[in-house]
Chain A
Amino acid sequence: MRIWLSTAMLLLFTFLLVPGAGAATDSATCFGCHGSMEGDVKVEQEKYSKSVHGSFDCVTCHMAPKGDQHQGLGGAAPDKSVKELAASLAHKSTKDPIAQSACITCHPDLYEAYKKSVHGQNVITKKSTDGPVCTNCHGSPHYIQARPSAESKVHLFNVVESCGKCHEEKHMSEKYGFSPLVMERYLESFHGRKLKLGHAGAPSCASCHGSHDIKSAKDPSSPVGNLENKKKTCSECHSGATEKFVAAITHKPLHPIAHWSEIGLILLTVGTFIFIIIHVLLDIYADIRDRLFRKGGNH
């Protein structure tokens, strides 16, 4: 009797949880497994539900999940643009290129800008594995926060770190010819320091270089790609920026004159420290000596 009852319940749940092919699968079904799995396939349901896309069903993006275990699960058939993008991202996005490409369904304008950017060109046209797709900058697609949120990977205070993931890599700077010290020189600049301290007016990488439509700084159409654009970009904060002014920021290594001036000033500073410390110590020594051995000597 009990066995019959259990079997009947199991069958009932099986039919409830696995709807027939063609019908959209709801997130609860997915979280039944993926909420408690380990590793890459785990998705934290609570964190997901608080993300900007938290109200979506999983199959909104994972339209056609692979593998036998997903048989009968899925959403609407991907449209032409998603399929095309998925094909061109397949070398970069090995897990689920369809899901990676699904962003363009709702964000076609950003995709258009990205496609023309130096990043998009590299990934889509040149089929390189270097260069970011959406999730490389925005973080895990399951936990994306809106940019004003401090948790967003592209928030003003976090975006520098996101860019740094590739741009402080030596092999990247060698391959693509940007300054190997670009991150270091930015971080030690007034801009970088102010941003670190939470100055909302301080510029991040994206403030000057752009984001989805980013161009190589060597590309004349970049906001920092030629003199006129540089003047315009700098003027957004420093009104009246001139040709001489915009030359200030290059992210290049220190010029030899600056380098040797720095060493000169450090020597001067250290030399003065040594002199005053010795002077003070000797003064203390003479003071103690006189008090102990020379009554009324110095005092």
Chain B
Amino acid sequence: MDKNIPQEIERFDLSVRIQHIIMFTTFLLLSFTGWGLKYAYVQPSSAWITIWGGAKVAGIIHRVAGIIMLMDFVYHQFYLLNLARKKDLRLTIVPMPKDVIDAFHNFMYFFGFRKERPYFGKFNYMQKFDYWAVYWGMFIIGSSGLFLAFPVTASMLFPAFTTQWIWDILFIMHSDEALLAIVFILIFHFYNEHLRSEVFPMNWMWLTGKMTIEQLKHHHPAEYDYLYGKDKKK
């Protein structure tokens, strides 16, 4: 092996790892407290909410966690800006036409029409999906959550003709898309990062931030080639 190729590379720096921890901690708190309200008429919702300190305390936890999560999200934007300022920002997470082709190839591979996984870059289309799902959630659930938390202030922002339906839409947005987010995390994220046989019980990258060079070569060949060049491959 080439001396210039390290044993492992850092994929997530410390800041990103902390951002992720804040994100999932607040996500869990929001899910647990919000679930009780969404399914208030399904037992044992009342007992569940009692665990969280009763309806009033659960509501405070929900609001505080929501604001911390939004702050985490805003911080992430400044983190990206800072990377850009340092000319350290590669747009590897931005969806590209190649992702559609990769997805198509991946399904071909699933069905046995291709022998190999697609030639994935630093982040494959599933990881991009995972990442941008947070943006969708922040805009849909975060904005509606803020409006619902401060309804009197929010009512001043909405034009008069919206008053007949805006609150119902905000409520549906917040509640339905939160369910989407929870199920998405439970199925897609948990399978990919926890249950998949090669990472079970979890992908430790959330703590170490590091990936071995073999894993990189195997799962993200395009990134490996970008970093170390095709000629250095063997």
Query: How far, in angstroms, from A202 to B188 measured CA to CA in the complex?
Result: 37
Most chain A Cβ neighbours within 10 Å, of B54, B110, B177, B197: B110
By secondary structure, the A interface counts as helix
B160 and A244 contact, CB distance less than 8 A: yes
Say whether B56 contacts A258, CB under 8 Å. Answer: no
Given A197-B46, A282-B110, A286-B110: A244 touches B165 (CB 8 Å cut-off): no
Q: B167 contacts which chain A residues (CB < 8 A)? A: 248
Q: Can you give 15 contacting A-B residue pairs, CB < 8 Å? A: A190-B171, A193-B37, A193-B40, A194-B40, A196-B46, A197-B55, A198-B50, A199-B55, A200-B56, A201-B56, A244-B160, A256-B165, A257-B169, A262-B168, A265-B173
| Complex Cα spacing A299 to B197, Å | 10
- B156 and A255 form a contact (CB under 8 A): no
Chain B residues whose C-beta falls within 8 Å of the C-beta of A243 in the assembled complex: 160
Does A51 reach chain B (CB closer than 8 Å)?
A: no
Given contacts A248-B155, A282-B110, contact A265 B176 (CB under 8 A): yes
A197 x B151 contact (CB < 8 A)? no
CB of B110 within 8 A of CB of A244, answer no
The answer to whether B152 and A248 have CB atoms under 8 Å apart is no
Which residue of chain B lies nearest to A247 when distances are taken between CB atoms in the complex?
A: B163
How many residues on A have C-beta within 8 angstroms of the other chain's C-beta atoms? 52
Is A11 at the interface (CB under 8 A from chain B)? no
Asked if B36 is at the interface (CB within 8 A of a chain A CB), the reply is yes
- Would A242 and B155 be within 8 Å (CB), given that A247-B163, A272-B184 are in contact? yes
Scan residues 149-187 of chain B and give those whose CB is less than 8 A from a CB of chain A: 151-152, 155-156, 158, 160, 163-165, 167-169, 171-173, 176-177, 179-180, 183-184, 187
Can you name 15 extra interface pairs (CB under 8 A) apart from A261-B173, A262-B168? A197-B37, A197-B40, A199-B55, A200-B56, A244-B163, A245-B155, A248-B155, A250-B164, A261-B169, A273-B180, A279-B126, A282-B110, A284-B191, A285-B110, A299-B198
- Segment of A109-117, A140-148, A208-216, A233-241 engaged in the interface with chain B: A233-241
**B55 adjacent to A202 (CB under 8 Å):** yes
Which of the residues A240, A269, A280 comes within 8 Å of B187, measured between beta carbons?
A: A280
Known A269-B180, A286-B109; judge A244-B169 contact (CB<8 A).
no
Q: Is B90 an interface position by the 8 A CB rule?
A: no
Which residues does chain B contribute within 8 Å of A254, judged by CB atoms?
A: 165, 168
B128 adjacent to chain A (CB < 8 Å): no
Query: Does B59 reach chain A (CB closer than 8 Å)?
Result: yes
Please name all residues of chain B whose beta carbon is closer than 8 Å to the beta carbon of A241 when the two chains form the complex: 152, 155
